[in-house]
Chains A and B, each alone.
Chain A
Amino acid sequence: MKNKSLISINDYTPEELLKIIDIAGEFEKNSVQDILKGKVIATLFFEPSTRTRLSFESAVNRLGGRIIGFTDASSSSVKKGESLKDTIRTVSNYCDLIVMRHPLEGSARYASEVATVPVINAGDGANQHPTQCLLDLFSIKKTQGTLENLNIFLVGDLKYGRTVHSLLMAMSNFNPTFNFISPDELKIPDEYKLFLDNKGIKYYEHSDFSEIILRADIVYMTRIQKERFSDPMEYEKVKNSYVLNNDMLTGTKENLKILHPLPRVNEISEDVDENEKAYYFTQALNGVFTRQAIISSILGLK
């Protein structure tokens, strides 16, 4: 993985995914080290994403690295019309690694072709967000002890949710069963069902999950955004069908954990927060360890 950019979750083999998860486990035990001393990491956020940026910066700072960069495109030369290529080429001279967030899909792949240092994709439009996916995998492995043979419930916006798509692709290496729960307008796209069919992976589609949740090992909740509906009435009708509350967790499996990429709006009631099956805040903390693992293995330090 040394010097290899991380653009799409599919860039890593199942073995490499597991390797990163193991290293993240080491950082969890000891997340303050000096291994990035003398290294400069550029965080180029062409669109703001405070949550992701802070997680990366925390990861780097705790390992003794330094950070340069910008937090949104309006304060950079991009605003003056500089091409992405020129920005990336220039910044390559100043750092050992680029972390990049950009609103255009495919921008990170392109950046990795023109950069002279490795690039980590921190989100390219609606396309990929591989570090989020790796932290999801780390969270699943940590709470379940394995990634193999799990029953995974994906709930909410399964059409546009890129975290859901990446998780589906990555988990497919580990013989899961998927349950997709979404309103009709936001169903999982056919291309992913085709992918699962080809791999011989079982999946089921539902429009409601209050009954079947008893079988779940992982429930991965996502936000349903009003803008996604062509008919606002439709949104009003379905919005409360995809809300998880504490009562629904009665009788669920011991090992069940609730995940959410955050920020949430109302899809998980606050009464779930104190339930020991709620895992979304710890999940966010796991993001720091996972990003430490990714950065240090790309820089050849782990």
Chain B
Amino acid sequence: MTDKRILSVTAIKDGTVIDHIPAKSLFKVISILELDTLNTQMTFGTNFNSKKLGRKALIKISNKFFKDEEIDKIALVAPDAKLNIIKDYQVVEKREVEVPDKIVGIVKCMNPNCVTNNEKVVTKFDVVSKKDVALKCCYCEKITDQEHLKII
């Protein structure tokens, strides 16, 4: 019942719904997608029960449609995220996110002696593993793994 009421309150006419975000990653997703810079209507919900994730969060954004390379970045913190693309109150497309082959910015290199942590350099990584995410820094060549992954 409760879920239904929330959904009806926040139903959107056109836009994107991002579901199955781990609750702890909600604010990271907001920051990666730079949602704070948009001036369209948005709803954030968090701590919904989820069989798979324990607690999940969800984001509804009116009149916003993401390009693949924009949205795939969130796979780093929300690998199970699902997108519903809404047109005229109908789900017209569903898609999942996939970790991209290269990551520019977003993530901090875990090597404290890396040039990116000491000079004004935008980080750059090759993704060497997508399942248990492992990123190879294009500068210091060290691996940053899932466990040490910090979003800038």
CA of A191 to CA of B138 in the docked complex: distance in angstroms? 16
Q: Are A106 and B141 in contact (CB under 8 A)?
A: yes
Q: Are A106 and B140 in contact (CB under 8 A)?
A: yes
Q: What 1/0 mask marks residues of chain A from 78 to 121 whose CB sits below 8 Å from any chain B CB?
A: 00000111000000000000000001111101100000000000
B115 within 8 A of partner (CB): yes
Q: What 1/0 mask marks residues of chain A from 47 to 86 whose CB sits below 8 Å from any chain B CB?
A: 0000000000000000000000000000000000001110
B137 within 8 A of partner (CB): yes
Q: Are A127 and B119 in contact (CB under 8 A)?
A: no
Q: Are A105 and B119 in contact (CB under 8 A)?
A: no
Partner of A8, one of B118, B120, B141, B142: B141
Q: How many residues belonging to B are interface residues under a CB distance threshold of 8 Å?
A: 17
- Closest chain A CB from B119 CB (angstroms): 5
* B114, B140, B142, B143 pick with most chain A CB within 10 angstroms: B140
CA of A107 to CA of B116 in the docked complex: distance in angstroms? 8
CB-based nearest A residue for B109: A106
Q: Are B120 and A105 in contact (CB under 8 A)?
A: no
Q: Are A105 and B143 in contact (CB under 8 A)?
A: no
A125 within 8 A of partner (CB): yes
Q: In the complex, what residues of B have CB within 8 A of residue A104's CB?
A: 113-115, 118-119, 140
CB-based nearest A residue for B138: A109
A126 within 8 A of partner (CB): yes
CA of A191 to CA of B121 in the docked complex: distance in angstroms? 26
Q: In the complex, what residues of B have CB within 8 A of residue A110's CB?
A: 115-116, 119, 121, 139
Q: Say yes or no: A85-B139 contact (C-beta < 8 A), given A104-B113, A104-B114, A104-B115.
A: no
Partner of B115, one of A84, A126, A191: A84
Partner of B120, one of A83, A107, A124: A83
A43 within 8 A of partner (CB): no
B10 within 8 A of partner (CB): no
CB-based nearest A residue for B121: A110
Q: Are A105 and B138 in contact (CB under 8 A)?
A: no
Q: What 1/0 mask marks residues of chain A from 8 to 20 whose CB sits below 8 Å from any chain B CB?
A: 1000000000000
Q: Are B120 and A106 in contact (CB under 8 A)?
A: no
Q: In the complex, what residues of B have CB within 8 A of residue A109's CB?
A: 115, 138-139
Q: Are A107 and B115 in contact (CB under 8 A)?
A: yes
A132 within 8 A of partner (CB): no
CA of A107 to CA of B142 in the docked complex: distance in angstroms? 13
A128 within 8 A of partner (CB): yes
* B119, B120, B139 pick with most chain A CB within 10 angstroms: B139
* B113, B138, B143 pick with most chain A CB within 10 angstroms: B113
Q: In the complex, what residues of A have CB within 8 A of residue B109's CB?
A: 106
B111 within 8 A of partner (CB): yes
CA of A191 to CA of B142 in the docked complex: distance in angstroms? 10
Q: Are A85 and B119 in contact (CB under 8 A)?
A: yes
* B119, B138, B141 pick with most chain A CB within 10 angstroms: B141
Which residues of chain B from 113 to 129 have a CB within 8 Å of any chain A CB? 113-116, 118-121
Q: Are B143 and A191 in contact (CB under 8 A)?
A: yes
CB-based nearest B residue for A106: B139
CA of A128 to CA of B120 in the docked complex: distance in angstroms? 21
- Closest chain A CB from B43 CB (angstroms): 41
CA of A110 to CA of B139 in the docked complex: distance in angstroms? 7
CA of A85 to CA of B115 in the docked complex: distance in angstroms? 11
CA of A177 to CA of B97 in the docked complex: distance in angstroms? 42
* B114, B116, B143 pick with most chain A CB within 10 angstroms: B114
Q: Say yes or no: A125-B120 contact (C-beta < 8 A), given A8-B141, A106-B139.
A: no
Closest 10 CB pairs of A and B: A106-B139, A105-B140, A106-B140, A106-B115, A107-B115, A104-B115, A109-B139, A110-B115, A84-B119, A106-B114
A residues apposed to B, CB below 8 Å: 8, 83-85, 103-107, 109-110, 124-128, 191
A-B CB contact pairs (8 Å), 5 listed? A83-B119, A104-B115, A104-B118, A106-B121, A107-B119
Excluding A104-B140, A125-B113, 13 further A-B contacts by CB distance (< 8 Å) are A83-B120, A84-B119, A103-B113, A104-B118, A105-B113, A105-B140, A105-B141, A106-B139, A109-B115, A109-B138, A110-B116, A127-B140, A128-B141
